[in-house]
Amino acid sequence: MTRRTTVILDDDLYKKIVEKSLEKYGNARGISKVINELLRKTLSGEDELLNLIYSEKIVKITNKQFEEFRRELSKRFES
């Protein structure tokens, strides 16, 4: 069963959703389908990046430690 609702989107989000709809369905009438697909993916936990961002952090690191690690890693890639 489907439900009809009103969602107020920021302009930038609306533009991206319309672009996705045009790309995938060839018209802007697919906006609801695009939104449903994005919500399903996000709510089902398939979006690993969101899970990573909002998950409990198990390591604490300072900016200085991160920069040292980044420099060392960069050196390894360059050699």
Taking 80 as the threshold, does the pLDDT of residue 71 lie above it? yes
Residue 58 counted as domain residue: yes
Residue 32 counted as domain residue: yes
Residue 2 counted as domain residue: no
Residue 25 counted as domain residue: yes
Instruction: Determine the straight-line distance between the first and last CA of the chain, rounded to whole angstroms.
Output: 58
Residue 1 counted as domain residue: no
Tell me: the pLDDT tens digits for 2-52?
899 999 999 999 999 999 999 999 999 999 999 999 988 878 767 777 777
State residue 42's pLDDT score. 79
In sequence order, what DSSP letters do the residues of 22-62 get, joined into one string?
Answer: HHHHSSGGGHHHHHHHHHHHHHTT--HHHHHHHSPP-----
Confidence of residue 70 (pLDDT cuts 50, 70, 90): very high
Residue 42 counted as domain residue: yes
| Domains of the chain: total | 1
Q: What's the domain range around 63?
A: 11-78
Residue 6 counted as domain residue: no
Phi–psi pair at 31, nearest 5 degrees: -55, -45
